[in-house]
Structure formats: structure tokens, C-alpha cells
Amino acid sequence: MSSSISPRRRAFERDLSAPEPIPEEGIARAEELMRKGLLFRYGEDRSGELEVAKLEAEFAAYLGVRYAVAVNSCGCSLFIALKSAGVRPGDHVLMNAFTLAPVPGAVEHAGAKPVLVEVDSSYLIDLRDLERKAASGARVLMLSHMRGHIADMDALSETCRRLGVTLIEDCAHTLGARWNGRFTGTFGKIGCFSFQAFKHLNSGEGGIIATDDEDIAARAILFSGSYMLYAQHGARPPLEVFERHKYSTPNFSMRMSNLAAAVARPQLKQLPERGRLWNERYAILEELLGAIDGIEVPARDPREEFVASSIQFSLPGLDAGEIEEFLSRCDARGVHIKWFGRSEPKGFTSRYTDWGYISEEQALPKTLGVLRGLCDMRIPLSLTDEECRLIASIIGECVADARAATSPAGAAE
Ligand SMILES: *Cc1c(COP(=O)(O)O)cnc(C)c1O
């Protein structure tokens, strides 16, 4: 079946995957640091140019936590969070099965064993399955607010408390988002955030660990590779806390660089405005896509104060062939949609069945059913309302076309 487009059918002309540009203030500061060569986060006897320390202090103040530790990626922040929370090789770690590859990767990096928990049709962790899986003896849950979808954090926190499970939150897509008035990343013992180019704050690569626990913070700083210069950190526990850990904590050299912090800092101030813009675009797309026959956009709890830098929807009535046809038609018209049901991992969309290093096979029929029809599209901040409407109409036409093309009558054309 060819995907020829008739001339009256408009295409979306811009790149949906284009990252957000760096504010001029960040560019100027990065340039200044480059001219001085001050790209390392610490100085031996220097003060005043400690860009990463400033970012940590500003981030902790923004989130309302005592300690923040900046590292080179969110994946590394997840790994350090596990180590700092006391996870040992061979331990079991619970995680929702709908997540991104760096999450099971961090568990594997720590030598631990992922125990996958089912998700429901709203893409959220299934708390009953969490209770069942906690019987594995796992003492830690690494919860991804995957693609910005936030579970009922009151119920989840209560379940974790009752089960004696320590919560670590992966907030790669929820920087700036809240549940019932409270920032994600502050419900658990540790919150981990991403500054990777396609997240809410773009420093190319980068991550940050947030916690109120002084021992976890000190260990995270030492793990990140502080060369005993930990006194220079911007949001750290008192120095005596480091005395308890400095001889027993290895240096993993996962520091954030001054350059990444310089471009990230001015973006922190922009988060409220970015959130507002993303959610306006999301509201348009959600309404228009939700009205299309064949597409389901799950309803969201009013307590979920998300920051929608992307949109997810399901195609429950379409089989794999129809979805392939739908995606290639969208692609031909400039709308690139990711699909978690693909049999081969591609780009950012792997499934738990693709993580072959997880030694024990785990069956999650409910999650597989959800992933089978799950589509994902980025929402660039620069998208106009009119472009949102164009994209929605392209998606609607492509669903209808894909169904017609793959129906027996269409195939006989
Ligand atoms: C992007 C992402 C990560 C990892 O971020 P990096 O900074 O690229 O390591 C982890 N979890 C989720 C859910 C993500 O989307």
C-alpha cells in the first residue's frame, strides 16, 4: 500500500523532535566559563565560579528540599540513588514496567534484580500488583512517573509505608509537576531528575538527586566523585556527616560539569512558564485527539498537576498492521509518533521484553496489552495552537486512512 498524499492534504513542516534552545543568559555564562577554562565543577582554592554548586542550591530551593546533588545524567542519578539508599548486589528492586531503558539499566548497574510491576490502562503503576510483587522481598521501589503520568501518590506512599518499601522517584518527565499540591520527587526518600535535551530542562546531558536525608546526600556526593572537595557543594549536609561515610564510599566519577550547570541555571527560572505553555498545547491536543474515533486519551485525575511535554494515546481497536500503516502515514505527513508496541526497540521506546539481561523472565500480560497500542508524541514548546490543530487533523485522517487501507475492501483496491 503506497502512502501517497494528495496535494490538498497538508503536512506538518517543522521538526517535532527539535530540542528547546538555551537562553542567552546561559550561552553567555557558558562562553565566559569556556574562555577561562573553568569547566570542572570544583576548584582547588577557587570560589565564586562554582556553577554546579549554585545550580544545586537553586534547585534545592526550587523543590523545597534540603539537599541536591548534580550528576551527569538522570540514569546515573538513579544508580547513585540506589547505592545511597543501601541497595546491595543481588537485592530485588521494584519498578513499574512502563518506563525507559535507563531505569532497569540503573538497577542492573547496581547489581540488583528488577522486579517488574504491572501498569494499568491509564499508564500508571498497579498498586495491587505492587503489593503482590513486594512479596519478592524487595525493599525499594524505583517509581517512574513515566512520560509525566503521576499515580495517586497519597495511596502509593501509604502502600510503601505499609510494606516497608523505600520509595525512589524517577522524575525525568515531571520536573515542575505536582501531585495534590506537592512536587514530585518529594514523596519518596530520593527524587531523581533529568536535564537531558528532551526533558523539561536542557543541558544536553545531566541529572540531579534531591533528598532531605543527610546520610543519603553525603553518600550521593561522595559516590558522584567529589575528590574530597565536598565542602564546595551548594546544597550539602554538615561536614561531620561526611566523616561517617568518606572512607567507605567509592568515587564513581559521575559529576555534572560546570558547562552543563551554566546552561541549565537560567532555565530553572523558566519552568513555571514552560509548564503553562506545554499544558495549553496539551489541552488542545487532548481534546482533539480524544474526539477521534479509534483513539483513546486516558482521563487524568484532577490532583495530577502534570507538565505535559509530550502526549500519549492508545489505539485500542487497531491491530499491529493497522498501527504500522497509521504511523507510516503520519510520518509521511511530518508527524513523527513513537510506538511502544513495536516488536523491535526503536529510539526511546523499548519494552521490558527487550531488556534481555533481566535474568528471570517476568510475565506482565496487562502491561503488554497497554503497550501494544501505546503511542507517544513530543510537544515542542514552540508549537502554535494552529499547528496543534493541524497535527490533530493529520492524526485523525491517518487513523481513518490506515483502517480503510488495511480492511479487506481497502486492500483489494
Ligand atoms: C529520560 C529518562 C531517564 C534517564 O534520563 P537520562 O538523563 O537520559 O539518563 C530515566 N527515566 C525516564 C522515565 C526517562 O524518561
| pLDDT higher than threshold 50 for residue 395 | yes
On the question of pLDDT at 156 being above 50, the answer is yes
**Does position 69 have pLDDT exceeding 80, yes or no?**
yes
Minimum mean pLDDT range among 9-23, 86-100, 151-165: 9-23
Q: Among 78, 142, 199, name the best residue to mutate to test ligand 1's pocket (greatest count of ligand atoms within 8 A of Cβ).
A: 199
Share of the chain above pLDDT 70, in %: 96
Which residue has 570560589 as its cell numbers? Answer: 47
Cα–ligand 1 centroid distance for 338 (angstroms): 16
Using the mean position of ligand 1's atoms as its centre, give its distance from the Cα of residue 337 in Å: 19
pLDDT band at 321 (very low <50, low <70, confident <90, very high): very high
At 47, is the pLDDT very low, low, confident or very high (cuts 50, 70, 90)? low
**Ligand 1 centroid from CA 172, angstroms:** 5
Mutate to test the pocket of ligand 1, among 73, 109, 194, 340 (most ligand atoms within 8 A of CB): 194
DSSP string of 246-302, one letter each residue: TTT------BPPHHHHHHHHHHHHHHHHHHHHHHHHHHHHHHHHHTSTT-B-----T
pLDDT the model gives residue 407: 74
Domain(s) of CATH 3.90.1150.10: residues in the chain? 271-412
Scanning the structure block, which residue is given the C-alpha cell 481534546?
287
- Model pLDDT, residue 5: 53
**Closest ligand 1 atom to 206 CA:** 7
Confidence class for position 413, pLDDT limits 50, 70, 90: very low
Distance 199 CA to ligand 1 centre (A): 8
Phi-psi region of 287 (alpha: psi -120 to 50; beta: other; left: phi over 0): alpha
Q: Give the pLDDT band of residue 1 (cuts 50, 70, 90).
A: very low
105 pLDDT more than 70: yes
pLDDT of residue 267: 98
CATH number of 24-268: 3.40.640.10
Q: Give the model's pLDDT for residue 195.
A: 98
- Distance between Cα 127 and ligand 1 center (Å): 23
Ligand 1 atom at shortest distance from the alpha carbon of 170: 11
- C-beta neighbour count of 354 within 10 angstroms: 15
Domain with CATH 3.40.640.10 in the chain: 24-268
Mean pLDDT value across the chain = 94
- Please give the residue that has the higher pLDDT: either 101 or 4: 101
- pLDDT tens by residue, 336-394: 999 998 888 787 777 888 898 987 789 999 999 999 999 999 999 999 999 999 999 99
Question: pLDDT at position 286, please?
Answer: 98
pLDDT range class, residue 409, cuts 50, 70, 90: low
Closest Cα to atom 2, ligand 1: which residue? 172
Q: 406 CA to middle of ligand 1, Å?
A: 36
Q: Within 10 Å of residue 69's Cβ, how many Cβ atoms?
A: 36
**pLDDT, tens digit (0-9, with 9 covering 90-100), for 115-129:** 999 999 999 999 999
Q: What is the pLDDT of residue 2?
A: 47
Tell me which residue has its CA closest to atom 5 in ligand 1: 74
User: Do 164 and 137 meet the contact criterion of CB atoms below 8 Å apart?
Assistant: no
d(CA 298, ligand 1 centre) in Å: 23
Determine the topology of domain 271-412 in CATH. Answer: Aspartate Aminotransferase, domain 1 (3.90.1150)
Q: Which atom of ligand 1 is nearest to the CA of 145?
A: 13
Residue tagged 546552561 (cell numbers): 263
Q: What pLDDT, on a 0 to 100 scale, did the predictor assign at position 347? A: 77
Q: Any residues with CB less than 8 A from the CB of 340 and at least 6 apart, and which?
A: 98, 349, 351, 371, 374, 375, 376
pLDDT tops 70 at residue 8: no
262 has pLDDT over 70: yes
Nearest ligand 1 atom to alpha carbon 75: 9
| Residue 408 predicted with pLDDT over 90 | no
pLDDT of 412 over the 50 cut: no
- Which one of 78, 170, 340, 351 would you pick to mutate in the ligand 1 pocket, going by the greatest count of ligand atoms within 8 A of its CB? 170
Q: Which residues line ligand 1 (CB under 6 A)?
A: 73-75, 99-100, 102-103, 144, 146, 170, 172-173, 194, 196, 207
